[in-house]
Amino acid sequence: MFASTVRRLSITSTLVGLFLLLFTSSSSAALIFTGQNIDVTYSASGEADITDSIVAGAGSDIAYLDGSNIGGIMLDFEFIDFVDNAVTFQLRGDGAAHSTGYYTTGLTGSYIISLMDINTTFDSVSINILDRIIGVSIGSEITFDAHNIYFDVSTLGILEVTPGADLGLITLDVGFALVPLPAALPLMLSGIAGLALFSRRKMVKK
């Protein structure tokens, strides 16, 4: 009777642990920016960081003169928008010449996108749209870790289409992952250990 109970509990623990691990893995594909709590920070050497805490939603999440902290340092038509698995930056070249026909942003720092949910992490970042912008690539101007994307906007160049009309667009595709549930693996391992112990006892009895 006792052995049968141990066996049933072990099988149950193993199945529950496997389910939790599989559920965690399969759910990662459905994670998106929309509805997530995000901190957006502009950070430049020698200056105080400027941060906005937002819930990603419809429309431009941070834009020129929208009442946000970063919106206050933006120029006409600039914005940052989060939707589904993408973040879009519209930037304006208002600084020194970058190269022929291109101008820098006039900013000296970086935008930092930070996830507030510790159970969600950044898994991948790639450039999807790069329009009228040069001098930006993954691993150089754009880097990331588990909870942050860093975008250095100080050195890139934006094409001046007509005098004073120099807007560039960049969209990053972002992959998310869930931090594995801490209880899932130990639960599954304890079930497997119980089954192994049960099998060993049966062999000894024979």
Q: Are residues 16 and 79 in the same domain?
A: no
Rg of the Cα atoms in the chain: 25
- Based on the domain organization, do 19 and 53 belong to the same domain? no
Reported confidence tier of residue 2, pLDDT bands at 50, 70, 90: very low
Of 188 and 32, more confident: 32
Q: Are residues 129 and 81 in the same domain?
A: yes
- CA–CA separation, 136 and 152 (whole Å): 9
Residues 103 and 63 in one domain: yes
- Farthest-apart Cα atoms in the chain, separation: 90
Nearest-angstrom CA–CA distance, 170 and 149: 14
Q: Coil, strand or helix: which one is 168? A: strand
pLDDT, one tens digit per residue, over 139-164 is: 999 999 999 999 999 999 999 987 76
DSSP state of 33: S
109 shares its domain with 191: no
Same-domain pairing of 42 and 101: yes
Residues 171 and 81 placed together within one structural domain of the fold: yes
75-to-65, 71, 130, 155, 160 alpha-carbon distances in Å: 8, 8, 19, 17, 15
Query: Do 6 and 36 reside in the same domain of the chain?
Result: no
Contact 176, 124 (CB under 8 A): no
Tokens in use for 186?
A: 């130990």
Are 148 and 200 within one domain?
A: no
Q: Which residues pair with 131 in a beta bridge?
A: 169
- Report how far residue 23's alpha carbon sits from residue 34's, in angstroms, rounded to the nearest whole number: 21
Residues 7 and 60 in one domain: no
- Domain limits for position 153: 30-178
**Lowest pLDDT segment from 78-87, 105-114, 137-146, 179-188:** 179-188
* Cβ–Cβ under 8 Å, residues 154 and 96: no
**Mean pLDDT computed over 174-195:** 66
| Residue 28: band (very low, low, confident or very high) from pLDDT cuts 50, 70, 90 | very low
Residue type, 20: L
Cα distance between residue 94 and residue 78, in whole Å: 11
Cβ-based neighbour number of residue 107 at 10 Å: 21
Q: Are residues 41 and 22 in the same domain?
A: no
Whole-structure pTM value: 0.76
Taking the C-alpha atoms of residue 122 and residue 79, their distance in angstroms, rounded to an integer, is 22
Q: Put the strands of the sheet holding 133-134 in their side by side order.
A: 97-99, 102-103, 157-159, 133-134
Residue 129 · residue 107 · CB < 8 Å: no
Q: What is the pLDDT of residue 6?
A: 44
64 and 10, same structural domain? no
Domain total of the chain: 2
